[in-house]
Amino acid sequence: MTPRDVQTARLSEKLRRELGPVVLKALSDPDVIEIILNPDGRIWVESHTAGMSQTDASMAPTQAENLIGTVAAALNAVANPQNPIIEGELPLTGSRFEGLLPPIAPSPCFVIRKRASVLYTLDHYIKDNIVTRAQAIVLRDAIAKRRNIVIAGGTGSGKTTLVNALIHEMVSLGDQAERFVIIEDTLELQCAARNALQLHTTDAADMTRLVRATMRLRPDRIIIGEVRGKEALALLKAWNTGHPGGITTLHANSASAALLRLLSLVEEAGVPAQPQLIAEAVNLLAFMERTSITGRRLTELVHVEGYSQNAGFKFASAI
pLDDT by 10s per residue, the chain, length 319: 787 778 888 888 999 999 999 999 999 998 899 999 999 999 999 988 888 999 999 999 999 999 999 999 998 899 999 999 999 889 888 899 999 999 999 999 999 999 877 788 999 999 999 999 999 999 999 999 999 999 999 988 999 999 999 999 999 988 889 999 999 988 889 999 999 999 989 878 999 999 999 999 999 999 999 999 999 999 999 999 889 999 999 999 999 899 999 999 999 999 998 999 999 999 999 999 988 777 899 999 999 999 998 889 999 999 8
**CB 250 within 8 Å of CB 261:** yes
Please report the domains of the chain, with CATH numbers, ordered by start residue. 3-113 (3.30.450.90), 122-317 (3.40.50.300)
Whether omega for the bond prior to residue 102 falls within 30 degrees of 0, making it cis, is: no
DSSP string, 53-110: EEEEEE--HHHHHHHHHHHHHHTT---BTTB-EEEEE-TTT--EEEEE-TTTSSS-EE
Whole-structure pTM over 0.75, yes or no?
yes
